[in-house]
Amino acid sequence: MEHSKEDLKDLYDGNLRWEKVKEIMSQPKDNDRFDKYIEILQERVPWSEKILLPLNEHLHVVQKDGERIVKCDCGQEFGDYRRNWKLSALIYARDDRQKLEEIYPGVKCPDPDLGEIREYYCPGCGSMLKVESVPIGYPVIFEFLPDIDSFYRDWLGRPLPDEKEYKDLSQEVIKEWATKV
Ligand SMILES: [Zn+2]
């Protein structure tokens, strides 16, 4: 069964009545659900590059001049989607007791000798993009490298032009930093 874009909008925003949510969830997905979802997202951003895949609440992989880059809904760009976008974000590390206590006051405070909390912010709009809690010195986590070509080719049945090698390029960013030191 087809669902209206308005219903899907409400579903994604969490504004739909539970009966309606249940009804949508229990039915086979309509074929163009993904397209409708992208259409809704595209209407909400102020820029015109085509969204290929949403990554999280603020970030999307978009098509731009033959490249695929990560872009925030504010317009801030984070480079090739195969490079961990976190390496281009503002990072605030809560790595001492005082900074951790702001979030976990008192006895709940984690031991700063064991781990830290890293907050990632968009340099363009200041939105918090991600929080990760890791052991001290743990590498920045690359959460999701989507295989966009397989998704469009094999799942949607319409391959994208200029396929890209499916490869984590984050090391390139680190290497660039190393040459600047
Ligand atoms: Zn932003």
Parallel/antiparallel/unpaired status of strands 115-121 and 128-135: antiparallel
Distance CA 54, CA 28 (A): 22
- Residue extents of the structural domains in the chain: 1-44, 45-176
DSSP state of 147: -
Ligand 1 center to 143 CA (angstroms)? 19
Work out the average pLDDT over 24-38. Answer: 80
Inform me whether the pLDDT recorded for 70 exceeds 90: yes
Beta strands per DSSP E along the chain: 50-54, 59-64, 67-72, 77-80, 90-94, 115-121, 128-135
Q: Are 21 and 11 in contact (CB under 8 A)?
A: yes
Residues 152-180 pLDDT 10s: 999 899 999 889 999 999 999 889 988 88
Work out the average pLDDT over 80-109. Answer: 93
Reported as a pLDDT band with limits 50, 70 and 90, residue 27 is confident
Ligand 1 center to 17 CA (angstroms)? 30
Mean pLDDT over all residues of the chain? 91
pTM for the full predicted model:
0.85
- Report pLDDT for 122: 98
What is the chain's Cα-based Rg?
20
Ligand 1 center to 154 CA (angstroms)? 31
Ligand 1 center to 9 CA (angstroms)? 21
Q: Are 83 and 54 in contact (CB under 8 A)?
A: no
Ligand 1 center to 39 CA (angstroms)? 20
Residues 129-145 pLDDT 10s: 999 999 999 999 999 89
